[in-house]
Amino acid sequence: MDRTFSSRRQEIVTLAPSVRDLKERCPALFLPEQIKEEYKRITTANLESTFMENLDHCIPRLMPLVMSRGGAAKHKIQKIMELLKINTVEIRREVAIRCLVVYLGENEDSLFEYVDSESQIGDFESRVVKILVTKGTTASDPASTTIIIEGTEVLQGLDVPRACALLMGLIYALNLSYPRELKYTCEVFQKVFLKLDSQKCSPKVTSLKQKLLGNPFEPHS
């Protein structure tokens, strides 16, 4: 994969082959470890560890922030928070990400689709970018995800936060644009959790960063 990176990258950027075609010709590119390696080749940064470390760093300030929302957003966030009855690292991260989407004024259904079993997934063709979440057989069983891009199943068997991190890796590896309906969520993933191009943020994400991380221009005491 290292030896073919240059030619592969040139093809992806200039010719924009379909995800289905790339997966058939280069299946290794869609393995979790290779997604992380490809992301590192492109950005020189670590994908999953950086995403999780910064997400975990933001959670203590993020949760009170999202809970301050009112109206319909408050009702959605309260419903998501019910998942915390099962208090694991993965669930805390999933709740934070889902609440973040709502806080940013975007529809979490644009990113996630929840089904009770794999038999309910149906045809992939209608999903352009989607993380399908299949519930566990019991309340204590972790959910399992399937990442769909351009109607093609590209990854499965991940927890929700890991699926979000690897989806960002795939977006970079495949040179994809962010879905318009998730532009702020993806911007936070990129600029707050992955620390890429973090000095150039939209006003909404700049405001969120200051609330989560503090104002970088405040004098130190």
Any domain includes 220: no
Any domain includes 217: no
* pLDDT confidence tier of residue 220, bands split at 50, 70 and 90: very low
The residue with greater pLDDT, 189 or 127, is 189
pLDDT at residue 89 greater than cutoff 50: yes
Per-residue pLDDT reduced to its tens digit, 149-164: 999 999 999 999 999 9
Any domain includes 218: no
The pTM assigned to this predicted structure is 0.89
133, 191, 127: which is closest to 153 by C-alpha? 127
| 118-147 burial code (b ≥16 CB/10 A, e <16) | eeeeeebeebebbbbbbeeeeeeeebbbbb
1, 89, 86, 84: which is closest to 37 by C-alpha? 1
pLDDT at residue 28 greater than cutoff 80: yes
Overall domain count for the chain: 1
CB 59 within 8 A of CB 193: no
Any domain includes 154: yes
Measured CA to CA in angstroms, residue 194 lies from 33, 68, 111, 118 at distances of 17, 25, 18, 31
> Strand, coil or helix: what is 32?
helix
Q: What is the pLDDT of residue 218?
A: 41
Any domain includes 216: no
pLDDT at residue 142 greater than cutoff 70: no
Residues 109-118 have a mean pLDDT of 83
Any domain includes 130: yes
- The residue range of the domain holding 82 is 5-195+203-210
Per-residue pLDDT reduced to its tens digit, 3-24: 899 999 999 999 999 999 999 9
Any domain includes 215: no
Query: Which position has the token pair 């109607």?
Result: 151
Any domain includes 221: no
